[in-house]
Structure 1
Amino acid sequence: MNQHAPGFYASYASHKGYAMPAVGPKQSARYDAEIWEPAGCAASHSFLEIGCGTGAFLGYLRNKGVARLLGIDHDPALASVIPEAARGDFLCRDVWEVLADESLDRFDRIVLLDVLEHFEAGDALRLMQALRGRLAANGRVVVKVPNAGSPWGLPYQYGDLTHRTAFATISMRQLADAAGFAPPLLYGQRQGSRRRMLADSLVCRLLSWALLNPPEIWSANFYAILQVKP
């Protein structure tokens, strides 16, 4: 992770207000729809989460019955807020050390949620290239980033001074291609109640009709699922 702003990372815990996440039915249903189903996940798969934060996704994976998982992050302050069921699956360790550690074997799914934007573009490419070597056969990488191609995504991208690279759908495809991945599956993150999502969809359809160059994806954040080129 880029450390060009060490003062901001040193105060990240207080800025974010780390707290143990509650992984209830609503959160689990969101992960089902956003990650588990689109990425073709199964309880038999092994998972590596890079930049796991407070461990909400790790807790979700444990609830799904996943036996082999590992979450890493560079902030030792996170160790005390990881959900108890997944606390033994957390390592405070540098990402480059982990990716070079052959003793960890390979993973069926590698997940980066709100992580890639913290890297300079060149480091993001180096990271994605390194991930190829940690994937098992038919493995997939799941990425979520702020959507710089949409006006709704700009507060997410520029609301954190540790963010280094802004991604739109076209630049995510460029990164995937340069790193040796096939064209990724790209889709928006839908948030809020059904009523709000319906209203949001209607507004975006109207804007897409009215504008000359509407974004490919309107949502504030988008997902990319990547597989190595055949």
Structure 2
Amino acid sequence: MDKTKIYRYIKSFASSRYKKSSNDEEIWQDFTLNYKANEKNIADTLAPCDKKFIIEIGCGCGDFAKIFLENNDNCLYLAMDVYRGGIINSIKKVKNIDIKSNIVKFHNEDGRIFIDNLDEKIKADSIFILFPDPWPKRKHNERRIINRDYVLHLLSRIKEHGKIVIATDDFEYQEHIFATLSSLSDSIEFCALKEDEILAKFPYYKRTKYHDKAVKAGRSSIFFIANLKL
């Protein structure tokens, strides 16, 4: 991408408040000094080694990051969330686990722009977008992060055998995502998995806070897995 032409994305997230804890400032300083991602430290980490590169757009409170890091090895995990509270809670989770030979970095602004600014030679093995805001009101549909143009763009940022994983519990958004991926059938292959099928692909998966909230509310989730046709 020509880095002088940064996309002007429509804001895909709402305002949020969080309940502060006594050590939040300490954790935020830790983020700034040790966990904050930038283009250089991502490129430098991937350059000399064979680590897999995993991106999570909208990491929430870090549930999936924790699950992934505990059950995988030799990865650079880039977790992105616009909410300060989400980053703080995510760091609290990963600080308390053995992340093996993994490296984890966090980004606290719009992850779409950060990905755009990475060197085009840097490709991800997997990109996870789990339970993004469905923007259910029709007048807000354009704010959805999943749309045809952006899926195509993300597919250009994954490796040959890489994949994009999207999950949602919102029925109308499920239909929207299915239609979006179907419209790209000349370029991609994809499957739509129900909750009881996801463990076949990701045996380590455990429900996140948002997934659990959906289950308690009686909503069924669908996991879409897309990859380029080879």
TM-score (norm 2): 0.56
2:83 matches 1:78: no
Q: Percent identity?
A: 14
Partner of 1:226: 226
Whole-Å separation in 2 of the counterparts to 1:122 and 1:45: 28
Q: 1:187 to 1:76 in 2, by over 3 A?
A: same
Q: Which of 117, 126, 129 does residue 101 from structure 1 map onto?
A: 117
**SS of the residue aligned with 2:151?**
helix
Q: Which residue of 2 aligns with 1:143?
A: 166
Equivalent residue of 1:127, what SS? helix
Aligned to 2:60: 53
Give the equivalent residue in structure 1 for 2:188: 182
For the aligned residue pairs, the C-alpha RMSD in angstroms reads 3.5
Q: Distance in 2 between matches of 1:79 and 1:168?
A: 27
Once the 2 structures are TM-superposed, how far is the Cα of residue 189 of structure 1 from its aligned partner? Answer: 1.3
Pick closer, same or farther for the CA change 1:54–1:132 going to 2, 3 Å: same
C-alpha displacement of 1:219: 6.5
1:147-162 matched pairs, under 5 angstroms: 147-148=170-171
Listed one character per residue, the Cα deviations across residues 119-165 of structure 1 (whole Å, up to 9, x for unaligned) are: 637752232122112101111111101141xxxxxxxxxxxxxxxxx
1:215 corresponds to which residue?
A: none
Unaligned segments of structure 1, at least 5 residues: 15-42, 149-165, 192-217
CA shift, 1:167, in A, is 2.1
Matched residue, 2:33: none
Of 105, 108, 115, which residue of structure 2 is paired with 1:92? 108
- 1:196 corresponds in structure 2 to none
User: What is the CA distance between 1:183 and its match in structure 2?
Assistant: 4.2
Greater share of helix residues, 1 or 2?
A: 1
Measure how far apart 1:101 and its partner are: 1.7
Change (3 A) 1:168 1:62: closer
Q: What's the counterpart of residue 173 of structure 1?
A: 178
- Work out the CA distance in 1 between the residues paired with 2:12 and 2:225: 28
Q: Residues 159-205 of structure 1: CA distance to partner in whole angstroms, max 9, x if unpaired?
A: xxxxxxx3235x433211335653421111149xxxxxxxxxxxxxx
Q: Distance in 2 between matches of 1:4 and 1:52?
A: 14
Aligned residues: 157
Letter in 2 for 1:68: L
Structure-2 change in CA distance of 1:187 and 1:92 (3 Å): same
